[in-house]
Amino acid sequence: MYIAMSQFEVANGMAADVKEAFVRRPHLVDHEKGFLGMKVFTPQENGNEFWVMTTWTDETSYKEWYKEHMKASHEGIPKGLKLVPGSLKIRFFDMVSD
């Protein structure tokens, strides 16, 4: 299993809009080859911070989605959203144990 974990912090008071966008997301990625699931978290101590974890069968499937469909999957981002500079981080993991 391959995991892509994104982390970012909302800078301009739009955290509720971002949460709503995730709840109402169009699920475009759900039918992509190799996609297993997505979970979105906010730490209890900072509701402006988001962690998005997507799981894939393999790295190749993730890279194909990213190259071909990532832009369309993010069209629901609330207009005017600003992030804390430098807060966007993307890390990749291999599953060791479940």
Please tell me the pTM assigned to this model.
0.88
- Per-residue model confidence (pLDDT) at position 73: 74
76-90 residue pLDDT tens: 788 999 999 999 999
- Residue 96 CA to residue 98 CA, distance in Å, equals 7
- Per-residue model confidence (pLDDT) at position 71: 73
**Any idea how long the chain is?**
98
CATH class of the domain comprising 2-94: alpha beta
- Per-residue model confidence (pLDDT) at position 40: 97
Could you say which DSSP state residue 10 is in?
B
Where the chain has pLDDT below 50, the residues are none
Residue the block writes with tokens 């981002």: 77
- Per-residue model confidence (pLDDT) at position 37: 96
Q: Per the structure block, which two tokens stand in for 63? A: 């890279």
- Per-residue model confidence (pLDDT) at position 35: 97
